[in-house]
Each structure stands twice: as structure tokens, then as C-alpha cells.
Structure 1
């Protein structure tokens, strides 16, 4: 077993986990799914209805990706809900949503396209 001071021990990139999280969450519709599930479980059709222009096939892909990541789970009644890590993520994102709401006019002026 190598010690933490052994120069041959690979160093963990401190930006790896946040970068991976941002790559996952930066995919179109990911944040919106989390936003819609934050209050509680929803079935596919209700979630699809709330997702405006998201196609059923895209929603299915996003739900599967979030399940694989451990952020949501499909319940026996076929509805989807946030897992404990998903709830924690929702809490962390609340600050981002507050920030985005506060600075919306500034952000909108940059040409950045908004899609929660």
C-alpha cells in the first residue's frame, strides 16, 4: 500500500468531481427534471406535461441518465423521485436558482440561452 506522500501515488484532480457534475447537469433538460421533481414524485406523463418542449424520447434519455447517476429513482408505481443525493443536489441548486433569478436581466443580456 502506498502512502499519501509516495510520489508514485496518483494525485486526485480536485476539479474532476465538480467538472463531471457540471457536465452531467449542463445537458439540456437535466436541471429542469430536477426542478420539477424537487417538490415530490411525478409520473412520466405529468413530468412530460410540465417540461414544455422536451420530447418524450429526450425525457426518457434524461431520466435514464439521472437514474444511472443515482440522482433519481423510478418507484414501483412508475413515478420518479429524487434520491437522497438528488435531494441534496436540489438544495445545492437552490442557491444557483436564487442567483440566476437575481441576475436574470444581466445574464439575459449576454446572449446566454436559458433553459432550466
Structure 2
């Protein structure tokens, strides 16, 4: 949970969910995340067993990472439902 709370971690997981990406493409999709921070986050996610670096140097989610992505989609859906409810009561 501590890792998931760090800035840019959830965004990196979100971007990698559809499939593998190389560092430069992932960096482009991450907007204002610096290369050094992205490198650090990717290393932390690798150490946690959530993603791996492939032989072609791209990054992809492991089975554990895909399971985490599924869990996060549920949290996202929950937040969408509750934010819509909050907007409708204002």
C-alpha cells in the first residue's frame, strides 16, 4: 500500500494495463513525470513483483500486476459511482 501511495505509481500501472510499453513511450504518456522519477518508480514496481522488464527493454505487468489492475478498476468504478452521486446532490 505504501508503494501505491507514491506519486506516479498508479498512473504507470494504468498506462501499462493494456500491454507492454517501452520507457520512452511510457514517459510520453506520463506527462510531467520526470525520467528519473519514472525510472525510480519502475524499479520499485519491479522489486515489488508487479511489473517486469522484457528482453526488448519494454515494461509489462506481471500476473500480480494484472491482478492489482483488476482490483484498482473496482476502486475506480466505485469512485466514479460515488462522485456522480455527489454531483447529483449538489
The TM-score with structure 1 as length reference comes to 0.70
Tell me how far 1:94 sits from its aligned partner: 0.6
Q: How many residues are paired up?
A: 85
Larger Rg: 1
Equivalent in 10, 20, 29 of residue 50 of structure 1: 29
**Matched ranges for 1:1-116 at <5 A:** 22-104=1-83, 106=86
Change (3 A) 1:89 1:43: same
Please list every run of 5 or more consecutive structure 2 residues that lacks an aligned counterpart in the other structure: none
Tell me how far 1:24 sits from its aligned partner: 1.1
Please list every run of 5 or more consecutive structure 1 residues that lacks an aligned counterpart in the other structure: 1-21, 107-116
What is the root-mean-square deviation in Å for CA atoms of aligned residues? Answer: 1.2
Structure 1 residue ranges (4+ consecutive) displaced by more than 4 angstroms after TM superposition: none
Counterpart residue number, 1:11: none
